[in-house]
Chains A and B, each alone.
Chain A
Amino acid sequence: MAGQPPSGPPGAADLATVSQAVFRSALDAIAHPGKIVALSAVPEAIGCANPAAVALLMALADSDTPLWIDPTARTTALPDHLRFHCGCPVVDDPALAAFALATDPATCPPLSDFPVGTPEYPDRSATLILQVDQLSAGRGVRLTGPGIETQTSLAASALPPDFWAQVAANNALFPLGIDIFLADDRRIVALPRSVSVEF
């Protein structure tokens, strides 16, 4: 009998359309680095992971994507939740991660700890989701690069002092490098490896 697809995890009545909406927001963000994109449908916060971060992982992580979670978040219900709903392995070593979630920028490992891909396969690199308190446009660092018409500016509260220097170093590796999503409560901003930063 023609059946309906299985219903999604808690908070997602229709998994297909919720995942699609989150993905389109992520795609919009990464196609326009520095643009603050509000997620339309977000799940509840889990442990110290905010709704936007949980939404991205629920939409994109699965058994093919080893996930690194920072040690603080690993002691909460988050790893079990993601293992159950996404089936993603949770790894201890950042160098093995396809996705990484840092819930506190202060304790985030150096960006160079995550895989940056290889010259033949630069896509085999990590995507880091970094939680911040508050994203704001119109001030802060200056961003240029593909996806940005002229330039844009972005500020995020409570990032480590050397964070933007690390982003610039990541950009210098292009086409290698990691791709970053900053996530405040329900909004995301992408900093792909292609973005140049001046601060």
Chain B
Amino acid sequence: MTMPLHTEARAAGYNFAFLDEQTKRALRRALLKAVAIPGYQVPFASREMPMPFGWGTGGIQVTASLIGPDDVLKVIDQGSDDTTNAVSIRKFFRRMTGVRTTERTEEATIVQTRHRVPERALSDDQILVYQVPIPEPLRYLEPRETETRKLHALSEYGLMHVKLYEDIARHGHIATTYAYPVMVGDRYVMDPSPIPKFDNPKMHRMRSLQLFGAGREQRVYAVPPFTSVRSLDFEDHPFAVQTWDQTCALCGAGDSFLDEIVTDDRGGRMFVCSDSDYCSRRRGDGETDPARGAAAE
């Protein structure tokens, strides 16, 4: 059984993909520079979007500058296709472009994500667009933009290593579990957006192009395909991803990122896949779970 691709007529009165052509051109130029300088944050003139900053306006503007009539869009929020943010953004692009949307990872040409990398490996001709709140990995260590620019220019990342070392001194291990800083192409330290560190290894030499958009902070950056993305660590405290004692309570997966769901007020809980497409496909398109039914939108 295949799930139908969703289509909708394009709303009249708006330019294709909402943004005006001048804005898209400026953003496209920024994206080309971003790909040419992997991990470097390129400033761009972020626009007001019809939703508040913090709701994915950076990712949405990147997607709007990329998307064409033949694209198929998938949007996930914390791995899930059916949360408010994902549903709203999909609907926005259906109205503004008339493109098809999908929940199936492999059918999409563009995957816009909030804080997860899909479990299924992406292919060469797919583009992964991350929504980013704070693009500057050094921001909480050095608030001045002039100084963080200088630190990136000099490739001076001692501050970040001190921060990770303080984790070890305080907790005995590196306690950073999301937005775990990475070194891109052996040159720039980059914020991978608040994805769990579980997803960091997937970014290393990923086959697909990864683009990052931060709307409020007015920055885009990129990781081209087959680019080295190394999570920062120490020889005696090597980087390691999260592990669980449980497998997914719904599909039994032992290799996916699990969310903890509290099921009652007596300490009951279950662990389920955060990637809804991965989980439902493992369960046979949700056929075994009548509660899920057809895509509810």
A59 at the interface (CB under 8 A from B): yes
- A27 and B31 in contact, given A16-B15, A194-B36 (Cβ under 8 angstroms): yes
- Assess whether A120 is in contact with B149, with CB atoms less than 8 Å apart: yes
Q: How would residues 184 to 211 of chain B score, 1 for a CB under 8 Å from any chain A CB and 0 otherwise?
A: 0101100000000000000000000100
- Assess whether B25 is in contact with A27, with CB atoms less than 8 Å apart: no
- Assess whether B42 is in contact with A123, with CB atoms less than 8 Å apart: yes
A75 at the interface (CB under 8 A from B): no
- Assess whether A147 is in contact with B224, with CB atoms less than 8 Å apart: yes
Q: How would residues 1 to 29 of chain A score, 1 for a CB under 8 Å from any chain B CB and 0 otherwise?
A: 01111000000001111011101101100
Which of A60-68, A103-111, A157-165 contacts its partner?
A60-68
Residues in A whose Cβ lies below 8 Å from that of B209: 27, 31
For B187, give its contact among A30, A31, A65, A174 (CB under 8 Å): A174
- Assess whether B21 is in contact with A193, with CB atoms less than 8 Å apart: no
For B28, give its contact among A3, A4, A60, A121 (CB under 8 Å): A60
Q: Which of B16, B29, B38, B150 has the most chain A CB within a 10 Å cutoff? A: B29
Q: Measured between C-beta atoms, what is the minimum distance from B252 to chain A in Å?
A: 34
B26 at the interface (CB under 8 A from A): yes
**Complex: how many Å from CA A65 to CA B32?**
14
Q: Which of B35, B36, B154 has the most chain A CB within a 10 Å cutoff? A: B36
**Complex: how many Å from CA A63 to CA B16?**
21
B244 at the interface (CB under 8 A from A): no
B22 at the interface (CB under 8 A from A): yes
For A146, give its contact among B24, B154, B224 (CB under 8 Å): B224
- A2 and B37 in contact, given A24-B68, A147-B225, A148-B226 (Cβ under 8 angstroms): no
Residues in A whose Cβ lies below 8 Å from that of B154: 119
Residues in B whose Cβ lies below 8 Å from that of A147: 35, 224-227
Residues in B whose Cβ lies below 8 Å from that of A27: 28, 31-32, 35, 66, 209
**Complex: how many Å from CA A21 to CA B67?**
9
The count of residues in chain B whose C-beta lies closer than 8 Å to any C-beta of chain A is 43
Within 8 A of A (CB), among B26-77: 26, 28-38, 40, 42-43, 65-69
- A19 and B227 in contact, given A2-B12, A123-B42 (Cβ under 8 angstroms): no
- Assess whether B225 is in contact with A5, with CB atoms less than 8 Å apart: no
For A20, give its contact among B31, B68, B226 (CB under 8 Å): B68
- Assess whether A17 is in contact with B36, with CB atoms less than 8 Å apart: no
**Complex: how many Å from CA A122 to CA B185?**
15
- A123 and B16 in contact, given A147-B227, A175-B187 (Cβ under 8 angstroms): no
B153 at the interface (CB under 8 A from A): yes
Q: Which residue of B lies closest to A124 (CB)?
A: B33
A residues near B (Cβ < 8 Å) are 2-5, 14-17, 19-21, 23-24, 26-27, 30-32, 59-60, 62, 64-65, 119-123, 125, 127, 146-149, 174-175, 179, 192-194
Which 6 A-B pairs give the minimum distances between C-beta atoms? Answer: A2-B13, A192-B36, A119-B153, A147-B224, A16-B16, A123-B33
B residues near A (Cβ < 8 Å) are 12-13, 15-17, 21-22, 24-26, 28-38, 40, 42-43, 65-69, 149-150, 152-154, 185, 187-188, 209, 223-227
- Identify 14 residue pairs between A and B in the complex whose beta-carbon atoms are under 8 Å apart, listed by A's number: A17-B69, A20-B16, A20-B17, A23-B66, A27-B28, A31-B35, A32-B224, A59-B25, A62-B22, A62-B25, A120-B149, A122-B40, A175-B187, A194-B37
